[in-house]
Each structure stands twice: as structure tokens, then as C-alpha cells.
Amino acid sequence: ETVGVIGLGYIGLPTAAVLADAGVETIGMDVSAHTVEAVNAGQVPFVEPGLREVVERAVSAGMLSASVETPAADAYIVAVPTPFTETHAADLSYIEAAARGIAPHLTGGELVILESTSPPGATERMGATILAARPDLAAADVLVAHCPERVLPGKIMVEMAENDRIIGGTTPEAAAAARDLYARFCRGEMLLTDARTAEMAKLVENSFRDVNIAFANELSVICAEVGVDVWELIELANHHPRVNILQPGPGVGGHCIAVDPWFIVDAAPESARLIRTARQTNDGKPEWVLGRIEQALEHHGAGATVALLGLAFKPNIDDLRESPSLQIAERLVERAPEATIRAVEPNIEELPASLAAAQNVTLTPVEEALDAADIVVLLVDHRQFTEIPAERLGRATVIDTRGVWR
Ligand code: SAJ
């Protein structure tokens, strides 16, 4: 039995690695020659705790290899990106390309699982793409299923094995076949359903979180207006046995929670009103923070020094994708040309391209930035920052978006 994993990114590579480690011959496919070379050398092109060891072991045991070509296999797992377009619609072109790559290898009876987060109907469409490329096959010859991935970046290796899995078959046979494959490495409960429900389940989980974070973010703006400490307020309210408010911040980042709700909005634009508003509320938070920084700059003068603590999208990771903190830094650099901006991000070695060219910003160690700062903006509650005592901030104006120094 051979499994082909299409797409060796944050989800595909860990999945391929645990499958191979569980004794399934696994061939990963990626369009990036750099990624393919790295994996074949037992290396990992991004940071994820515990992943490297498993990849190394699986490659040296001869169970895991990678290629830029789609391999022939008995089962396929498609884990390619589903970004959104300008109009917030899902871009399914990577899934379509994967399906067209798989189609020529099929002989009948193979299982094709879509893992990428997808709008309702995408799995059926992937099946149709395969059949369109292979008119010689009947629908029953290909088992098509959707099994959304719900692991948390930073804890992928643990959650991959332990999380419950939703398995949505386009037919009951496809669901059963997918369950048997995941049972090779997953100890969580297997929850069988149809493909559309599985697609929606993933989107709804992330929308639930987005809506709840939006509630916290809206509260933080209201509290600033009415003169109440939002963190104390939330802590008090959460003592109620049926209240559990999340934490406000500078916005919502990452490539999941800030994206997935749009797929629901796109699928039901008239009805998904709360979900759309939540997205807009969270997307609007960076601008609100910028407004407060600009106010502080008016007070200190346009040439003041601003320390921005954190660029990642959440604490203790190096991932800057869709990061509201990075967005704040980018806009500030543009709008405050006279200011001296000290960006502090202990998890990276150089500034991302979007900041590197600017004259008024430098990547600075935290102590140096605090010494120089007139304005300190806490954007990410990295471990290194939560350890800073409030007294260390001296006379600087403090804009604390995470409630670290309340
Ligand atoms: N955030 C807040 N306040 C909070 C919690 C989070 O502002 O109280 C912000 C974070 O700072 C970050 C963003 O939300 O910018 C998202 O972070 P996260 O840790 O909540 O989630 P992700 O994006 O790392 O991973 C999510 C997870 N989904 C859920 O918890 C419902 C994960 O299980 C999914 O697998 C992942 O999305 C995905 O790939 O869809």
C-alpha cells in the first residue's frame, strides 16, 4: 500500500511524516524543488516542534520520500493551499491542479482525500475534475472524501495523533476507506459524515473562534471609550459559570481563522451576517491600534522612537503570515516617515521583505528598543515580553494590546 501526499506544507508534510512513521509507504509531492530536496535529505523547511525527528526517521527507514511529480499510489491525500481571491471567494486552482495530476495514475478503486480547508461543494468538484480527465472511469471507481485538518500550529505533531477527526465521504464507502487510512496513525475518535458537512464543520469551527474573538475585540474598543480596563472586565465576567470571553488583541492573524469565515460568507452572502461582521471587526482592529500610535506620536512629536514588540501572528512562533502585528508595522513605517521604529521580534533573524527596504525601521533586541523608546507598543505576548516588569518601561507611553502590563 502506497500513499501519495500532494502538497508538503504545514499540514501535508507532518501528515506524510506520521503516516510513513506508522509503517505506510508514503511519497510526498510538492511543486517546490527546494522542499522536495529538503525532505529527501531528512530535513524540514519550516519550524514545527517534533516534526524534524519524525521526518528524519521516516526518510532513513526508507518509508518517506518526496518528488516534484505526482506519484502512482493506492491512496492520495491532497493538502494544498486554498487562498482567497480579492473578492473573498475561495481559489480552488491548487486543488484542481492536484486532481489533474492524480487522474492519469488511477486504475480504479483508489481513495482520494481532500484535506485542504474548502468551501462547501469543493470535494465533489475535485471528484468531478478527476472524472472529467478520465472519462474511461466510472464514478464508483474513485473513492473521494474530505477530512479537514484541525491541528494547531506549534502543537501539530501531538494534535495530529490525538485530535478527533471528521471524515466526510462523497459515498459511505469512501468515508469507510478514509477512516481505515487515518486509523493507521490517529488515536482520536473518527466521526463519519458526508463531504459537505465535513467541509462546513471545519469552516464553522474557525468561524466560531473568529466571532468570539471579535466580541472581545469590540469590547476592548468600547472599554477604551467608557474608561474601563477590558482585561479586568473579562476576568470578572468569566467568573460567571456560563460566560467564557476570549482575549482581545491587535487583530486576528494566521492563515485559518482570518480566512475560513470568508468561505462561509461567500457561500451564503445574504445570510452570513454575523460571521461577516466579525471578520470586519477583527480586520479593523489593526487600524484602531494605529490610531492610538498616531495619537501618541502627536504628543511626543513626529520624530519620536516607537518600539513595536512582536511581529508574529501569535505568541512564541516565527510565523508572520496574515499577522495583524506585521500589518501595523508596515502601515506605521509608511505613515510615520520621521519616526524611528524599532521592531522587536525574537523569533526571526531578519526583517521580512515588506519592512526590510524602509529607512525608518530596524530589527532591534528588546532591551535596546526599550531603552530608546518614547512609545512602547506591545503587539504579541511572546514569553520574552510577558517577563518584562511594568517599571522597566519607564516614562514611555505604553500601548498594550494584550493586557500584559495591566
Ligand atoms: N487570538 C486572539 N484572542 C484569543 C485567541 C486568539 O486575539 O483569545 C488571535 C491570535 O493572536 C491569532 C489568531 O487569533 O492572531 C488565531 O490564533 P489561534 O491560536 O486561535 O488559532 P490558529 O490560527 O493558530 O489555529 C486555528 C485553530 N482553530 C481553532 O482553534 C478553532 C486550529 O485548531 C486549526 O487547525 C487552525 O486554525 C486551522 O488550520 O484551521
Is residue 339 included in any domain, yes or no?
yes
Nearest atom (ligand 1) to Cα of 202: 40
Could you tell me if 300 and 374 lie in one domain?
yes
Mutating to test ligand 1, I would choose from 48, 82, 200, 257 the residue with most ligand atoms within 8 A of its C-beta, which is 257
Ligand 1 centroid, distance to 23 Cα (angstroms) = 32
Asked, for residue 206, whether it belongs to a domain, the answer is: no
How far is Cα of residue 346 from the mean position of the Cα atoms in its chain? 20
For residues 125 and 257, state if they share a domain: no
**Does residue 153's CB lie within 6 angstroms of at least one atom of ligand 1?**
yes
Question: Is 202 a member of any domain?
Answer: no
CATH classification of the domain holding 388: 3.40.50.720
Mutate to test the pocket of ligand 1, among 158, 247, 256 (most ligand atoms within 8 A of CB): 256
Please report the sign of the dihedral spanned by the C-alpha atoms of residue 182, residue 313, residue 277, residue 79: negative
Question: How many CB atoms lie under 10 A from the CB of residue 193?
Answer: 15
252 lines ligand 1 (CB under 6 A): yes
Nearest to 205 by CA among 264, 269, 156: 264
Looking at the fold, whether 136 and 242 belong to one and the same domain comes out as: no
* Set of cell numbers at residue 256: 485559518
C-alpha gyration radius of the chain: 23
- Pocket of ligand 1 contains residue 255 by CB under 6 Å: no
Same domain membership, residue 317 and residue 262: yes
In 3D space, the residue among 77, 80, 121, 55 whose CA is nearest the CA of residue 266 turns out to be 121
Q: How far is the CA of 257 from the centre of ligand 1 (A)?
A: 6
ipTM of the complex: 0.94
Cell numbers found for residue 154: 506549534
| Cα(289)–Cα(251) distance, integer angstroms | 9
- Within a domain: 225: no
Ligand 1 atom at shortest distance from the alpha carbon of 256: 40
Whether 157 and 243 map to the same domain: the answer is: no
Please give the distance, rounded to the nearest whole angstrom, from the Cα atom of residue 15 to the centre of ligand 1: 20
Out of 149, 202, 259, 314, give the residue to mutate to test ligand 1, the one with the largest number of ligand atoms within 8 Å of its CB: 314
Angle formed by the axes of helices 273-300 and 195-226, nearest 10°:
40
Q: Looking at the structure, do residues 111 and 27 belong to the same domain, yes or no?
A: yes
Residues 6+ apart with CB under 8 A from 163: 150, 151, 186, 188
Q: Residues 147, 186, 202, 285: which is the catalytic one?
A: 202
Q: Which residues fall within 8 angstroms of residue 202, CB to CB, at 6 or more apart?
A: 117, 118, 148, 149, 150, 166, 260
For 15, the domain range is 2-195
Distance between CA 283 and CA 285 in Å, rounded? 6
Query: Grid coordinates representing 350?
Result: 531578519
Give the end of a domain, one of 142, 176, 195.
Answer: 195
Q: Rounded to whole angstroms, how far apart are CA atoms 287 and 5? A: 40
Query: Which residue, by CA, sits nearest to atom 34 of ligand 1?
Result: 150
- Residue 257 C-alpha cell reads as 481563522
**One domain for residues 291 and 175:** no
158 plus 41 within the same structural domain:
yes
395 part of a folded domain: yes
Q: Does one domain contain both 186 and 307? A: no
Q: Verify that 245 and 147 share a domain, yes or no.
A: no
202 as an active site residue: the answer is: yes
Query: What does the alpha-carbon distance between residue 55 and residue 17 come to, in Å, rounded to a whole number?
Result: 5
- In angstroms, the CA 28 to CA 128 distance is 23
Q: Same structural domain for residues 271 and 317? A: yes
The reply to whether 277 falls in a domain is: yes
State the chain's maximal CA–CA distance in angstroms. Answer: 75
Q: Is residue 221 part of a domain?
A: no
Let me know whether 49 and 182 are in one domain. yes
Residue 139 located in a structural domain: yes
Q: 382: Cβ below 6 Å to ligand 1?
A: no
Going residue by residue through the chain (406 aa), what tens digit of pLDDT does each one get? 999 999 999 999 999 999 999 999 999 999 999 999 999 999 998 888 999 999 999 999 999 999 999 999 999 999 999 998 888 899 999 999 999 999 999 999 999 999 999 999 999 999 999 999 999 999 999 999 999 999 998 899 999 999 999 999 999 999 999 999 999 999 999 999 999 999 999 999 999 999 999 999 999 999 999 999 999 999 999 999 999 999 999 999 998 999 999 999 999 999 999 999 999 999 999 999 999 999 999 999 999 999 999 999 999 888 898 999 999 999 999 999 999 999 999 999 999 999 999 999 999 999 999 999 999 999 999 999 999 999 999 999 999 999 999 8
Number of domains in the chain: 2
Is 147 assigned a catalytic role? Answer: no
